[in-house]
Chain A
Amino acid sequence: MKLHDFIQFETKHFIRNRFKVLAVIVFILGCLYTIRLGNQMRENKLSQIQNQKDKSIENKAKVLGWYDSGQLGPKESPWVNISEPFWAIWYTPSHVYKFPSPLMGFSIGQAESFAYQKSISNWSTVYDNDLIGEIANPERISVGSIDFGFMVLYLAPLLLIILLFNINGLEHDLGINTIIRTQSTNPNLLLLARSTYYTCLLIALLFLMVVFSGLITGAVQSHLSELIFLFLLIASYLLLWQFFFFWLIKTSIGSNGQAIRMICVWIVFCVLIPGYVHQMADTRFPENFKTDYLDVNRIEIKGLFDLPVETRANNLKSLFPSLQETIMGKDSIPNVDATNYSSSSLANELMKKAALELAEKNGEKNSYIISTYWYNPVTFFQNKINAISETDYHAYQNFRDRIQSTIDQKNELIVLETWDDRVVDKNQYLTYFDKCNASQ
């Protein structure tokens, strides 16, 4: 049979089966709906970020107004003096944003568990309360959001089952499989071609949807290589399923038996193996209550303030060797106010160490998850799609790293400028603003 004839034959076969056509239409509508949901979420995040940016500009203008009018700070806080570096930096609005990728429409991933912006002070940490993610219904999150990634990873294989379950199965049911085997020169090739037809049909539909969404969000222009990679991932994933299903089709025992075996394979790969890995990860790395981190947060930082000024000043000099060259650093008697203002840097070092330990523990858990990919392909593809859409753990860890570097920057600025006894004017304030928002 020529390729053209074969496609015509299989297309007729497909179109005549209303149940299959309906399933494909429902799937397409579902995909379009989930892409829209993901894009809506992205737009919401972008608009919230824009609101925060506007507020930040307002706050900056307010402080600039104080400089213009010679006011030293808010009227209700007479102790504030914005000509001192500490207070000038304290009143420098500083934010780190995680801009959602234009590919977010394809996978919401872990987006709902994390925040997309963080207001930074010198006392901020990467585990602050304002980083716990959007306010959402925990029952909905535990059931899981429906997104394009879910449609592709979990429902596309089910659609494939609907499309493929009676290939060779129907022939068995009708008892004509022997005739077909006799008439065909290569019956396995025919089965492979027939199953490939449906897989290619699905891949082509998904390709169109990826391109369509990419055009709407502008990802085709800005993230073309990621978009191509995403498509290749989707295609490989569906071909992998086709590979499994082809073996079941080849050894068919009838439509019913074939459908049952295909669904069992789906259950094993989509539900049981990921569930098992999840359970094992939880057993190997049990959820703890972060008491080590809390101890640093409360006990060790509180202890910092019980230290004599001399000790804290020396610790600061070890942390920032260039302090020795500053005006106050050259003085043998430490300046109490400057040391107090700078103490957040010492606290930041302690918190950084504790946060790093947490990140290392998370890293170990992630390594374990990655080590299971060879028998847990669904999770592999899921995390790859999340990574492309920048909604996976690593995307948020990068966000945390950027937050940490801004906290470091703000603290360093406070310490060096305070110890240099600098008098801050409007221009200097603007320099601080730029430095404290460099991570955007």
Chain B
Amino acid sequence: MRQIIFNEWKSITRDRTIFFVVVLFLLSLGFVTYSNILKNRVQIESHHVAHNHIRSQWDNMEPTNPHGAAHFGTFAFKPVSILSSIDEGINSVTGNVLQLEGHTQNELTYSEATQSLNISKFGKLKPSLLLQMVIPLFLIFISFNAVSKEKENGRIRILLQQGISLKQLVLSKSLAYWVVGLLLLSFTILVQFIFSAQNLDRDILLRLILLFSAYSIYYFIIVSLSVYLSSRLNNQTGALAGMVSVWIIWTILIPKLTGNFAEKVYPLPSRIDFVNAMREDRSKGIDGHSPSNEREEELKKTILTKYEVDSLSQLPINFDGLVMQADEEYGNMVWDKHFGNNYNILLEQKKLQQLSGFLNPFSALQNLSMGSSGSDLYHHLAFLEDVETYRRGFIKELNDKHAYGGSKTGEWDWKADQEFFRSIADYSYISPSFDTIYQSYFFDFLWLWLWIGLVLGLIFFTKISDITI
């Protein structure tokens, strides 16, 4: 087997076209990875600048009414992860600015996709584009005739007579071509490793290992399937047509179809229905009872009883702050119900899409690539939940100040000092660590391993009598 692998490598290096293309790919991957790392740095820097700019506006706010400050609000900017230079995932379509204010849970705005004409249907020239689409095709091109050319020139008979089994032949040729894929992949990871060295930590290393493993497995599936088809089909054209069809179906058709299918199975509400339902729940009560004025009356009675006074003006605190916080907490229930419903639907869609890896290992690869780069739906939802938790605490602090800061009910002109606003913690986001999120990708990995098992099964159970020599 080792001899066949070496011979195959020799023939690859002797083939000037393949050698030239491999060198071209190495250069392209190096350039694309490096330029994306640089771009990512710029993006991270502008994120810091924007964040500090908004925070300094908050810190330098003149004494103002806390409720006015809640309307003034603040902004959270969606950060980019270090590895999004490899795979940008969904970042270009989600928007990156989230307004945090009282009374409402907002959504991310200003998505890049809305700011210009359409450009590419397959995304930017990121390493992921080359690693997912172009390199597998290249591996198909160099391996589709691995066995069929031996059949056509009659060398296969000699090899078999020398004692090598068909499965050994297919496996060793698969390993030989797989190494070419690994070389390209390793180079990309190495460039990322070298130029992101200052940001490397355990989490990023684990993610890089996951990324490397996922692509390695996928390349093995592609290459071994291609070599297997080359052994089974009678001519090279059939093997090439078969593998290119597999590539088109896996890479282009199924990902788009499964996305549409998942949305049909788990439909999301239309925006207008979503907004109207929230408005309805907000005004009439989640269960259709206790509208806001009734809830306010109840709160009023409770507070007057608690402080043993007859009217709001006798209260030592500002009742308006309590009403606003109660309304906020009620609103939070409404947001949890409706946004929570949307998030659950999105997660169901994601799970269904992950299940499609059973049919299409490319889907599993895409999920693992985005997941390890921190740019998939799971990371996105984690960010949104984290921001919303911050918003709720932020608004509560302002409402509490309004209620207990020293003003009386109805004193809307009362102002909290700058010191108070500065004391409110700034928003900072730490992306979920790999340890906390790896189980989300269990099925993706499982499918890739199953596909390896399937392809190896095909190879191991192929008899010489199955093929025409």
Interface residues of A (CB under 8 A from B): 19, 37, 44, 48, 51-52, 55, 76, 109-110, 113-115, 117, 127, 129-130, 132-146, 150, 153-155, 158, 162, 166, 173, 255-256, 259-260, 263, 267, 270-272, 274-279, 281-283, 285-291, 294-295, 298-299, 302, 361-362, 365-366, 369-370, 379, 382-383, 386, 392-394, 396
- Give the nearest-CB partner of B75 in chain A: A294
29 pairs from A and B in contact (CB 8 Å cutoff): A76-B293, A113-B93, A115-B271, A117-B272, A129-B106, A135-B271, A137-B350, A138-B90, A139-B89, A139-B370, A140-B259, A140-B260, A141-B90, A145-B259, A146-B256, A154-B121, A158-B248, A256-B145, A256-B236, A259-B240, A270-B121, A272-B134, A274-B119, A279-B35, A279-B126, A289-B75, A386-B117, A386-B118, A396-B114
Q: For the complex, is B255 an interface residue (Cβ under 8 Å from A)?
A: yes
Q: Contact between B50 and A282 (Cβ–Cβ < 8 Å)?
A: no
Q: Contact between B124 and A289 (Cβ–Cβ < 8 Å)?
A: no
Q: Contact between A143 and B117 (Cβ–Cβ < 8 Å)?
A: no
Q: Contact between B72 and A113 (Cβ–Cβ < 8 Å)?
A: no
Candidates A132, A153, A365, A393; contact of B107 at CB < 8 Å: A132
Residues of the B chain whose Cβ atoms lie less than 8 Å from the Cβ of A109 = 118
Whole-angstrom distance between the alpha carbons of A96 and B195 in the complex?
Answer: 50
Q: Contact between B46 and A137 (Cβ–Cβ < 8 Å)?
A: no
- Contact mask for chain B residues 338-368; partner A; CB cutoff 8 A; 1 contact, 0 none: 0000100010011001000000000000100
Q: For the complex, is B300 an interface residue (Cβ under 8 Å from A)?
A: no
Whole-angstrom distance between the alpha carbons of A46 and B370 in the complex?
Answer: 35
Residue among B118, B259, B269 with max Cβ neighbours from chain A (10 Å): B118
Whole-angstrom distance between the alpha carbons of A115 and B272 in the complex?
Answer: 10
Residues of the B chain whose Cβ atoms lie less than 8 Å from the Cβ of A299 = 57
Q: For the complex, is B153 an interface residue (Cβ under 8 Å from A)?
A: no
Q: Contact between B353 and A139 (Cβ–Cβ < 8 Å)?
A: yes
Q: Contact between A382 and B240 (Cβ–Cβ < 8 Å)?
A: no
Whole-angstrom distance between the alpha carbons of A365 and B171 in the complex?
Answer: 50
Q: For the complex, is B464 an interface residue (Cβ under 8 Å from A)?
A: no
Q: Contact between A141 and B113 (Cβ–Cβ < 8 Å)?
A: yes
Residues of the B chain whose Cβ atoms lie less than 8 Å from the Cβ of A294 = 54, 75, 97
User: Number of contact residues on B: which range applies?
Assistant: 35 or more
Q: For the complex, is B305 an interface residue (Cβ under 8 Å from A)?
A: no
What's the nearest-Cβ distance from chain A to residue B42, in Å? 6
Q: For the complex, is B323 an interface residue (Cβ under 8 Å from A)?
A: no
Residues of the A chain whose Cβ atoms lie less than 8 Å from the Cβ of B126 = 275, 279
Residues of the B chain whose Cβ atoms lie less than 8 Å from the Cβ of A392 = 117-118
Q: Contact between B72 and A298 (Cβ–Cβ < 8 Å)?
A: yes
Q: Contact between A110 and B112 (Cβ–Cβ < 8 Å)?
A: no
Residues of the B chain whose Cβ atoms lie less than 8 Å from the Cβ of A275 = 120, 122-126, 129
- Contact mask for chain B residues 202-219; partner A; CB cutoff 8 A; 1 contact, 0 none: 000000000000000000
Q: Contact between A136 and B263 (Cβ–Cβ < 8 Å)?
A: yes
What's the nearest-Cβ distance from chain A to residue B250, in Å? 13
Other than A132-B114, A135-B268, A393-B116, give 16 A-B pairs with Cβ distance below 8 A: A113-B111, A137-B350, A138-B377, A139-B90, A140-B259, A140-B260, A158-B248, A166-B237, A267-B134, A275-B120, A283-B39, A285-B116, A287-B96, A288-B46, A379-B120, A383-B117
Task: Tell me if A's interface is mostly helix, strand, loop or mixed.
Answer: helix
Whole-angstrom distance between the alpha carbons of A173 and B148 in the complex?
Answer: 14
Q: Contact between A135 and B269 (Cβ–Cβ < 8 Å)?
A: yes
Whole-angstrom distance between the alpha carbons of A144 and B92 in the complex?
Answer: 12
Candidates A52, A115, A142; contact of B123 at CB < 8 Å: A142
Q: For the complex, is B103 an interface residue (Cβ under 8 Å from A)?
A: no
Residues of the A chain whose Cβ atoms lie less than 8 Å from the Cβ of B133 = 267, 271
- Give the nearest-CB partner of B116 in chain A: A365
Q: Contact between B240 and A256 (Cβ–Cβ < 8 Å)?
A: yes
Whole-angstrom distance between the alpha carbons of A392 and B35 in the complex?
Answer: 29
What's the nearest-Cβ distance from chain B to residue A350, in Å? 16
What's the nearest-Cβ distance from chain A to residue B277, in Å? 12
Residue among A51, A140, A298, A379 with max Cβ neighbours from chain B (10 Å): A140
A139 in contact with B376 given A279-B125, A279-B126, A291-B54 (CB within 8 Å): yes
Whole-angstrom distance between the alpha carbons of A393 and B119 in the complex?
Answer: 11
Candidates B35, B237, B370; contact of A173 at CB < 8 Å: B237
Residues of the A chain whose Cβ atoms lie less than 8 Å from the Cβ of B111 = 113, 132-133
Whole-angstrom distance between the alpha carbons of A232 and B412 in the complex?
Answer: 65
Q: For the complex, is B158 an interface residue (Cβ under 8 Å from A)?
A: no
- Give the nearest-CB partner of B73 in chain A: A298
- Contact mask for chain B residues 56-83; partner A; CB cutoff 8 A; 1 contact, 0 none: 0100000000000000110101000000
